[in-house]
Structure 1
Amino acid sequence: MIALKKKIKAAFTFFALAVFTLSCNDDADIWEDDNLETSANLEIMLKGKENHDVLADVKVNVFAKPKGSEDFALVYAGTTDEEGRIEVKNLQVPNIVRLEMADTKYPSGDPVIAKILGQKSASMELQINTLWQPQSIMDRTGWEVIDFSSMHKTSNATANLPGNVLLDNTSIWHSNYAGGATPYPHWLVIDMKEAKTMHGYALKQRASNNGPIKGLEFYVSDDNVNWEKVVATEIPLTNPGEWHTIKLQQPAKGRYIKFVATSPHLPTAQFINLEQLGVY
């Protein structure tokens, strides 16, 4: 049996924390060819970050890229048991494994990637934020608004720009209202620069009910040409500056997202503002 000479422990971010530990033994004969291992059992456990409660019945996808393979392939799709555990048996080694949430119960976070070498077994524990918070939004660094319906121009060159929705501040995108407001629908397209797996959307208008949005839609695309509608819903009229989160029924994946505001809470206010827009 191949085993590492010492224990290796690595930490991976999965919102707050994910820890991957390879179990192994001290063995002076780790390079004996006749004892090479070709498979390992992978145990995965999910726990809530807030109080470390086990997360039962949570959907998870496991992708693997064995040595010699160029791409990841799905090797397991299922749900955690009553103890929050999943076991993937006879996983080919050496291997690179990618673990993704496939559920809309909780924010997804970025995939966790780890190497599995020659151990008979390996284990992974994920501590997941079970409550949504603004930090759940994916990092938007480098993202770009590449198309939009309108904006209100002023002498301030940075005011009301559509790209302001990607900034972590109180700058806003404001649709045009000069010479009569541009009517609904209002929309913008964001290029995330690479394909992302999304479990939901979050948006916030500025701290005033000036142009509150009611109906909205979200679309996703791989090429900015062919679009799939993944959300059509309404959000309540709430306190100014409050975050609205919209969970997807199924995870969606794509490089481009399109936000469309379809109707207002106040029929006389045909314009909108949007302070932040993100995905999780």
Structure 2
Amino acid sequence: MMTLVVTASFMGCSDDKMDYPLAAKADRSGWTVTAVSSEQGDGSENTGLASAVLDGDLNTIWHTQYDPDHPGFPHWFVVDMKKPNKMISVDLTARQNNKNGFTKFKLEGSANGESWTNLGEFKFVPATITPQSFPVSSAVGYQYLKFTALEGLAVHTFLAEMEVFVHE
């Protein structure tokens, strides 16, 4: 008897569409970071602040605190997407000039910003400077998305961009 094994890959891309039927990049206009465990920066050009992950600029980054304290993992932030979204994937883009970021993270979704549903734990390669795509269930629409860095190559971490892909 012959057994057929089928494997599939879910890859994000930098275009507005992905190679997935009925998927589109979510409109991030109006999205805000409503809570953050730690951030470092004077706010100039958004660098250091968690809101940098939503600004469309790979040169600005969220950076956890490193001066005067060095809080350890986990590091997290919450994004209010302003309306429920049935997410298909979340794309994360690493800091472009430092390979020592987080290596493991989890995503959670919430309708109200208070009770959370685990969307998965994932491995991240901080040396990869192109977007990395992570599939999540689109069965339920969530207004809030929580990113939590669980482990990394240093005590602090950083992230350049976060994109969400949704059903059209």
Give me the TM-score of the superposition, normalised by structure 1.
0.49
- In structure 2, how many angstroms separate the alpha carbons of the residues matched to 1:106 and 1:252? 21
Partner of residue 243, structure 1: 131
Alpha-carbon spacing, 1:129–1:227, altered in 2? closer, same or farther (3 Å): closer
* Contact in 2 for aligned 1:160/1:171 (Cα 8 Å): yes
With over 3 angstroms needed to count, the CA separation of the structure-2 counterparts of 1:236 and 1:210, relative to structure 1, is: closer
Q: Which runs of 5+ in 2 are unaligned?
A: 1-8
Match runs of 1:1-280 below 5 Å: 129-130=18-19, 136-154=24-42, 156=44, 158-169=46-57, 170-239=59-128, 241-248=129-136, 251-264=139-152, 266=153, 269-280=154-165
Greater strand content: 1
* CA deviations over 1:157-193 (Å, ceiling 9, x no partner): 7331111110111211111000242211110000011
2-side partners of 1:105 and 1:211: how far apart?
A: 25
**Aligned CA distance change for structure 1 residues 129 and 229 (closer, same or farther; 3 Å):** closer
Report the RMSD for the aligned CA atoms in angstroms: 2.6
Tell me by how many angstroms 1:233 deviates.
1.7
Asked if structure 1 preserves the Cα contact closer than 8 Å seen for 2:95 and 2:126, the reply is no
Amino acid at match of 2:155: Q
How many residue pairs were aligned?
151
Q: Is the 8 A contact 2:94 2:160 kept in 1?
A: yes
User: Which residue in 2 is equivalent to 1:93?
Assistant: none
Give, in whole Å, the separation in 1 of the partners of 2:62 and 2:10.
Answer: 30
AA partner of residue 152 (structure 1): Q
Q: Encode CA deviations 1:201-230: one digit per residue, 9 max, x unaligned.
A: 111122123532111000000011110001
Structure 1 residues not aligned, in runs of 5+: 1-103, 108-127
**Bigger-Rg structure (1/2):** 1
Cα distance in 2, alignment partners of residues 238 and 156 from structure 1 = 25
TM-score (norm: length of structure 2): 0.79
Higher relative contact order, chain-length normalized (CA < 8 Å, sep 6+): 2
Percent identity reads 23
